[in-house]
C-alpha cells in the first residue's frame, strides 16, 4: 500500500509560524498596522486595571470601525489584491482584539449572585458544545437538545433584553458576560447543526451503523465482551474502510463528502473503545506492568475529569502532562526496553494504546478549557489531518518503512518550528499551546503504535 496524492499533500503540509507582512497588499498593511496599534493600546489598558466601561466601549468602537474598513476595502477590491491567506490572517488578528476587549468587559462586569445559576448553565452548555466541536462526535439530536436548553434559559431569565430572575427586578450586574455566553452558545450550536444537517445522503447509512456500534461498545456490559465479539465489531468497522480513501469518505471525483468529519470521529471513538477492551485482555511483561498500572490510573482520572469538565481548571491538568512526559522519556526510539539487556518486553502495543488514549483525553480537555486561538488553527488543522492519516494506517495495519519514515519527518517538522516548546505568531504566545502539544504528542504515540503494535491481528 502506498500513500495517495491526498495523503502526500496532507503529510507534506507544514504549520505556518506566521504570514510574512511582505506578502500583504498596501491596503492590508495599512489596516494591519492600525490593528496592531489598537491591540497594544488594549494590552496597556489591561495592565493598568483602572479603566472604565467608557474606555472599553471607545476601544470597541474603534475596533468595529477598523474592521468595517477592512471588509469594505476587501469587497470594493473584489478580492483582487486580497489573497485568501493574508485576508484570513488579518481576520484572525481582529479576533484576538475582540477577545482582548471581551476580557476587559469581563473584568469590569462582575456576575450578580442572583444570576450565578444562569451563568453556570450557560458555561456548562458552552463546554459541551466546544467538546462536540473539538471531537466531531455528535448527532443532530444531541445539538438540538442543547439549543432547546438555550431557548429555555433565554425565555425564562431574559426579560425585555435584560437578564434577571423576575421582570420587575432591578437590572443586575453581569449583562455583558451573560449575553456574550448566550450568543456564543447559539452561534456554535448553529454551526454544529449545519454540520450535522449537511451530511451527504451517501453517508447516512454508514452513520446509522456507526451509532449502533458506538452504543454497543459504550454499554457497561461491553467490559465482558469476548475477543471474538470485539473482533466482530472491528470487522464491521473495517467493512466501511473500502468506502474511504486514506481515511476520507469521498465521492467519485475524489472530493471529501459533507459529514466525513462526523463519521471519522465516530469510527475513531469505536475503534478506541475496542482497543481499550482488547488491552485489558493482552499479556504485559512484568517489566512493563508498573507503567501499565500508572497509565490506566491516568487514563481513568482523565476520563473522570471529562465527565466533570465544567468544574476543572487548566492547572489541574499540569500533573498529567508531567506524568506522561516522564513515561515518554523512558522510550528509546519509540520502544520501552529492558534496562538490563536492551531487549523488547511484551506489551508494547498496550502501553502505546494507553498513552494514545491519555493524550487524546488531555487534548479534548485542553480544547474545552483553553480553545485554540484562531491564528493557531492552521497548525491545529494540519496536525488533525496528519492524525487522520495515521489513524487510517493504524486501523488498516498496512504501511511501509518509507511511509513511516516520511510521517516521522513531518511530525518532527511540527516539533522543530516551536520556540521553547511554544508556537509563536507575530512574536506572541497565543492560547491553545497545551492543546497543540497534546495533539502532537498523540500523533507521535499513534506513530509508535503503528510501528510496533501487535494489538490488531
Question: What is the value of pTM for the model shown?
Answer: 0.52
DSSP conformation letters of 125-173: HHHHHHHHHHH----HHHHHHHHHHHHHHHHHHEETTEE-SSTTS---S
What cell was used for 42? Answer: 488594549
H or E element that contains 359: helix 348-369
Cα distance between residue 247 and residue 190, in whole Å: 27
**Per-residue pLDDT, 23:** 60
Nearest Cα to Cα of residue 416 among 17, 10, 7? 17
**Per-residue pLDDT, 309:** 61
In this structure, how many other beta carbons lie within 10 angstroms of the beta carbon of residue 442? 22
**Per-residue pLDDT, 84:** 52
Name residues whose C-beta falls within 8 Å of residue 130's C-beta, 6 or more positions apart in sequence: 188, 367, 368, 371
pLDDT in tens, 171-214: 888 887 788 788 888 888 988 888 778 888 888 888 888 888 88
Q: Please say whether the beta carbons of 24 and 426 come within 8 A.
A: no
Measured at the alpha carbon of residue 392, what is the angle toward residues 1 and 351, in degrees to the nearest 5? 110
Q: For the chain (length 457 residues), average pLDDT per consecutive 10? A: 41 43 70 86 80 83 82 58 57 74 73 82 83 73 90 89 80 81 86 83 87 83 86 89 80 84 82 79 83 88 74 80 87 78 80 84 78 79 83 75 84 86 81 84 84 51
**Per-residue pLDDT, 146:** 92
**Per-residue pLDDT, 74:** 63
Amino acid at each position: 500500500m502506498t500513500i495517495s496524492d491526498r495523503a502526500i499533500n496532507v503529510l507534506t503540509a507544514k504549520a505556518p509560524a506566521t504570514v510574512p507582512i511582505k506578502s500583504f497588499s498596501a491596503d492590508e498593511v495599512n489596516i494591519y498596522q492600525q490593528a496592531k496599534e489598537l491591540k497594544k493600546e488594549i494590552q496597556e489598558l489591561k495592565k493598568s486595571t483602572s479603566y472604565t466601561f467608557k474606555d472599553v466601549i471607545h476601544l470597541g468602537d474603534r475596533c468595529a470601525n477598523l474592521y468595517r474598513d477592512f471588509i469594505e476595502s476587501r469587497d470594493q477590491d473584489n478580492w483582487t489584491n486580497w489573497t485568501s491567506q493574508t485576508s484570513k490572517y488579518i481576520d484572525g488578528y481582529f479576533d484576538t482584539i475582540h477577545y482582548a476587549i471581551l476580557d476587559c468587559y469581563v473584568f469590569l462586569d462582575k456576575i450578580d449572585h442572583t444570576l450565578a445559576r444562569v451563568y453556570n448553565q450557560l458555561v456548562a452548555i458552552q463546554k459541551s458544545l466546544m467538546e462536540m466541536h473539538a471531537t466531531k462526535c455528535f448527532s443532530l439530536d444531541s445539538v438540538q437538545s442543547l439549543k432547546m436548553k438555550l431557548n429555555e434559559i433565554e425565555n425564562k431569565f431574559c426579560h425585555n433584553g435584560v437578564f434577571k430572575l423576575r421582570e420587575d427586578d432591578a437590572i443586575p450586574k453581569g449583562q455583558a458576560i451573560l449575553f456574550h455566553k448566550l450568543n456564543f452558545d447559539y452561534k456554535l450550536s448553529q454551526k454544529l447543526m449545519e454540520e450535522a444537517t449537511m451530511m451527504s445522503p451517501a453517508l447516512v447509512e454508514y452513520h446509522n451503523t456507526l451509532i449502533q456500534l458506538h452504543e454497543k461498545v459504550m454499554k457497561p456490559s461491553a467490559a465482558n465482551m469476548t475477543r471474538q465479539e470485539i473482533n466482530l465489531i472491528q470487522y464491521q468497522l473495517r467493512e466501511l474502510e473500502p468506502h474511504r480513501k486514506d481515511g476520507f469518505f469521498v465521492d467519485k471525483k475524489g472530493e471529501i463528502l459533507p459529514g466525513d468529519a462526523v463519521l471519522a470521529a465516530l469510527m475513531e471513538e469505536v475503534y478506541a473503545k475496542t482497543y481499550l477492551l482488547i488491552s485489558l485482555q493482552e499479556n504485559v511483561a512484568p517489566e512493563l506492568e508498573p507503567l501499565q498500572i500508572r497509565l490506566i490510573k491516568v487514563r481513568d482520572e482523565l476520563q473522570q475529569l471529562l465527565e466533570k469538565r465544567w468544574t476543572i481548571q487548566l492547572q489541574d491538568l499540569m500533573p498529567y502532562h508531567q506524568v506522561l512526559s516522564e513515561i515518554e522519556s523512558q522510550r528509546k526510539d519509540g520502544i520501552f526496553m529492558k534496562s538490563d539487556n536492551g531487549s523488547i518486553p511484551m506489551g508494547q502495543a498496550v502501553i502505546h494504546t494507553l498513552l494514545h488514549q491519555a493524550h487524546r483525553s488531555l487534548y479534548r480537555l485542553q480544547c474545552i478549557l483553553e480553545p485554540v486561538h484562531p491564528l493557531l488553527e492552521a497548525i491545529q488543522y494540519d496536525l488533525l489531518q496528519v492524525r487522520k492519516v495515521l489513524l487510517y494506517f493504524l486501523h488498516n495495519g498496512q504501511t511501509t518503512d518509507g511511509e513511516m519514515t516520511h510521517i516521522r519527518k513531518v511530525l518532527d517538522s511540527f516539533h522543530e518550528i516551536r520556540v521553547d516548546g511554544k508556537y509563536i505568531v507575530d512574536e506572541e504566545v497565543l492560547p491553545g499551546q497545551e492543546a497543540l502539544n497534546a495533539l502532537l504528542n498523540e500523533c507521535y504515540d499513534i506513530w509508535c503504535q503503528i510501528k510496533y503494535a501487535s494489538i490488531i491481528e
